[in-house]
Amino acid sequence: MENNGDAEKLKMNRRQFLKGAGTLAMAGAAGLAGLHLSQQKVMAADEPMNGDTSDHQWVLVFDLRLCDGCKACTQACQKEHYLPPEQEWIKVFQMAGPLGQTYFLPKPCMQCVDAPCVKVCPVKATYKTKDGVTLVDQQKCIGCRMCMAACPYQSRYFNWNDPLPVPSTLAKPTPEFPVPGVKGTVGKCEFCLHFMRFGKIPACVSACVMRAAWAGDLVSDIMANPDETKKLSTFLKENDAYRLKEELGTGPRVYYIAGHAQNYQY
């Protein structure tokens, strides 16, 4: 339980957060970039990075207590990246719990700290950025699909067909925003880095009607959805956050809240 001082500090952080978002807040999206509210490391933030770190280390958080499996996140991602219907960079699975209950689990790229896909790429088309996101340079990718075989989360997809038509302003793809995709190469979720670096939350987070999805930054210790901000470390700790296949040691940057009888107010 936070004391009054902590609560007041968090309120101040929220005001700073919204102020820093500028015009994005006016548009209904909470900003993430440009924040230096705290240097406190939280849950896996102290894991070694390959090379220098930056002012931000991006993560996603999914509250499975709220996810209803509507797949609005998937559809928003497809729309933003001009993906064909059969290609889903964020899949939503219906899962069975230990007592027979069902729940839904969205699964994007895990943006692993120690990413197997990076290690096996023979042409260094797959690489990590300083802010912790793994990208694919489709201009270098030779389509060998070794990265797909190495990914323990099956979060990579091969572009078998020609890309969908895109506006002329998007004629030149970049690793941060690989639109249009390149036939014969591999594509995947890139945490909407073209948004995150400019203070805008990812398409999947914006589209989640249930507000089950959050974007966060381990460095500033802030997480946000279109309606509110929270202290990331506190939320993860108090709600017993976990990550998929942690035992593999890949250091995934996607956190899940399953819910274990916490006093949660809807």
10-residue mean pLDDT profile of the chain (266 residues): values are: 46 40 34 35 37 78 96 98 96 89 95 98 97 96 98 97 91 91 97 94 97 97 96 95 96 91 52
What confidence score (pLDDT) does residue 138 get? 95
Residue in 145, 154, 134 with CA at minimum distance from that of residue 91: 154
Classify burial at 132, counting beta carbons within 10 Å of its beta carbon; exposed 0-12, middle 13-18, buried 19 or more. buried
4-257 fold: Alpha-Beta Plaits (3.30.70)
What does the alpha-carbon distance between residue 63 and residue 65 come to, in Å, rounded to a whole number? Answer: 5
> 128 forms bridges with which residues in the sheet?
134
Q: Can you give 211-237 as a three-state secondary structure string?
A: CCEEEEECCCCEEECCCCEEEHHHHHH
Domain ranges of the chain: 4-257
What confidence score (pLDDT) does residue 207 get? 98
- 13 three-class SS: helix
What confidence score (pLDDT) does residue 19 get? 40
What confidence score (pLDDT) does residue 141 get? 98
What confidence score (pLDDT) does residue 260 get? 61
What confidence score (pLDDT) does residue 221 get? 96
What does the alpha-carbon distance between residue 42 and residue 234 come to, in Å, rounded to a whole number? Answer: 9
Kindly report the pTM of this predicted structure: 0.80
What confidence score (pLDDT) does residue 262 get? 55
What does the alpha-carbon distance between residue 43 and residue 46 come to, in Å, rounded to a whole number? Answer: 8
